[in-house]
Amino acid sequence: KKKLHSSGLEHDDRLLGGLLSSQFDDDSCLSRYQAASYRKESPYRPSSYLTSRLRRYEALHKRCGPYTEPYNRTVANLRSGKKTEEDSDCNYLVWVSFSGLGNRILTLASAFLYALLTDRVLLIDRGVDMPDLFCEPFPEVSWLLPLDFPITDQFNSFNQESAECFGNMLKLSTNSSSSLSPYVYLHLVHDYNDHDKLFFCDQDQSFLQKVPWVIMKSDNYFIPSLFLMPSFEQELLALFPEKQTVFHFLGRYLFFPTNPIWGLITRYYEAYLAQADERIGIQVRVFDTRVGPFEYVLDQILACSLDNSLLPEINPNKSFVTYPGNQKSKAVLLTSLSSGYFEKIRDMYWEHPTVTGEVIEVFQPSHEGYQQTEKKMHHRKAWAEIYLLSLTDKLITSSWSTFGYVAQSLGGLKPWILYKPENETTPNPACTRAMSIEPCFHAPPFFDCRKRTGTDTGAVVPHVRHCEDMGWGLKLV
């Protein structure tokens, strides 16, 4: 049997090939340097350009972050509503906490990359529990938006109709300069309109360049469309020569579970997963308003697992089989809001022997019933489960689910994606192998910025394609 991972590093690369800064103390956030010992070494290496740009960002963050002199100065301008005449040497991107956990993680990574590309300092709105879930990612200076930030109480009321909304300002302004505005609200939520979408056009980006404060609300992983913008393209290709590694690296750089959640993760891993010869993750997300479990979903999970040899068939005719030699064990980590699928699969492998002789253990950490927004432990468990899925060897995910995207990308896993069922019928085939480990952008623009006409943005460059699980979505491959 395999020894527990925590008893020693599987590999000695605790800074993940230079991705992480070495400047943190270990105890404040145990997961930061311990995570490496729970994972297989990633087959991907960060480019030296990426690591140097991250160090440069960290220096910028330290110089301009909360309560530094430039921060205090730009906040004072914001508070007084003073028009900004001179260029500020520190500009900011404020990420507004919004939507489910998977969505939040993906948009935050997108916001960070945009900040990196435009030399802005990323500050995050705490929402209900962001500091409870994530460690500080940048050394020395916090990424949390200070509680006395002047316009936080307006975040909830910002929408497409707001006077400060980017799309609205573009629509109404005759000259394309907003240099007089102390802040702009950027609406990149799935319901955004054609004017908001001009964010993805180089000529309209210039509108934002001199604005000291950009406040962003999004529920989407919008990075694939940044790769289609000529002004960012070269830089992005230099940062990520392997295009499908964008979230893999940004996620591992930014998102560290806080100590209480690291406790949830490591205790669970060591109790149920560490000893198995192989770990299979199955992420079940059913977008149905009725309470499950549904037979057609169970059939789909089993068809996908068996057809792709992720799990062995059972022998329904034998009640007892003796196998010679070493029996291999597979641990299945199933996550779902309901417990029905887990119970059925566990019972199936209890009631019948497998044809291969493998021992199948089935586990599900929680069954929270429904998505909850205000409960602390609910989000802690959700984050722990996403992370545990990312520690598996093979992964099955559900279509359309950002929860699954985060797990696959963090883990560097190309999942088998369960097709979205139509009319309560098991799709055939049940699932498909993902082209890449990247998340899907669910609401991309279909606009040719130069010709000012509609276009298929999934057919412009070979590395930005339509997603397996959502025909109109875009992903990096």
CB of 424 to ligand GDP, least distance (A): 19
Asked if residue 336 binds ligand GDP (CB under 6 A), the reply is yes
CB of 75 to ligand GDP, least distance (A): 31
How many residues belong to the chain? 477
- Among 35, 93, 94, 101, which residue sits at the site for ligand GDP (rule: CB under 6 A)? 101
Q: Does 100 interact with ligand GDP (rule: CB under 6 A)?
A: yes
Select from 164-172, 314-322, 333-341, 415-423 the region that touches ligand GDP (CB under 6 A). 333-341
Task: Give the Cα separation of 383 and 97 in Å (integer).
Answer: 15
- When the beta carbons of 103 and 168 are compared against ligand GDP, the nearer one is 103
* From 31, 178, 258, 366, residue interacting with ligand GDP (rule: CB under 6 A): 366
Residue 376 lies near ligand GDP (rule: CB under 6 A)? no
Using rule CB under 6 A, residue 285 touches ligand GDP: yes
Residue choice 41, 277, 343, 368 for contact with ligand GDP (CB under 6 A): 368
- Does 338 bind ligand GDP (CB under 6 A)? Our answer is no
Identify the residue among 103, 168, 397, 426 touching ligand GDP (CB under 6 A).
103
Q: Is 463 in the site for ligand GDP (CB under 6 A)?
A: no
Q: Which of residues 381-410 bind ligand GDP (CB under 6 A)?
A: 381-382, 385, 401-403
Report if residue 129 touches ligand GDP, rule: CB under 6 A. no
60 versus 437: smaller Cβ distance to ligand GDP: 437
Among 337, 359, 470, 477, binds ligand GDP (CB under 6 A): 337
Segment interacting with ligand GDP, rule: CB under 6 A, options 50-58, 365-373, 410-418, 462-470: 365-373
How many of the chain's residues bind ligand GDP (CB under 6 A)? Answer: 19
Rule CB under 6 A: say whether 335 interacts with ligand GDP: yes
- Does 439 interact with ligand GDP (rule: CB under 6 A)? no
Q: How far is the CB of 340 from ligand GDP (least distance, A)?
A: 13
- The verdict on 176 binding ligand GDP (CB under 6 A) reads no
| Segment interacting with ligand GDP (CB under 6 A) among 90-98, 293-301, 331-339, 464-472 | 331-339
Please state, in angstroms and as integers, the Cα–Cα distance from residue 375 to each residue in 371, 372, 378, following that order: 10, 7, 5
What minimum distance in Å lies between the beta carbon of 394 and ligand GDP? 18
HEC sequence for the chain: CCCCHHHCCCCCCCCCCCCCCCCCCCHHHHHHHHHHHHCCCCCCCCCHHHHHHHHHHHHHHHHHCCCCHHHHHHHHHHHHCCCCCCCCCCEEEEECCCCCHHHHHHHHHHHHHHHHHCCEEEEECCCCCHHHHECCCCCCCCCECCCCCCCHHHHHHCCCCCCCEHHHHHHHCCCCCCCCCCEEEEEECCCCCCCHHHHHCHHHHHHHHCCCEEEEEECCCCHHHHCCCHHHHHHHHHHCCCHHHHHHHHHHHHCCECHHHHHHHHHHHHHHHCCCCEEEEEECCCCCCCCCCCHHHHHHHHHHHHHCCCCCCECCCCCCCCCCCCCCEEEEEEECCCCHHHHHHHHHHHHCCECCCCEEEEECCCCCCCCCCCCHHHHHHHHHHHHHHHCCCEEEEECCCHHHHHHHHHHCCCCEEECCCCCCCCCCCCEEECCCCCCCECCCCCEECCCCEECCHHHCCCCEEECCCCCCCEEEC
Q: Which is nearer to ligand GDP, 73 or 285 (CB)?
A: 285
Q: Which of 177, 372 has the CB closer to ligand GDP?
A: 372
Q: Does 371 bind ligand GDP (CB under 6 A)?
A: yes
Residues lying near ligand GDP in the complex (CB under 6 A) are found at 99-103, 285, 335-337, 366, 368, 371, 378, 381-382, 385, 401-403
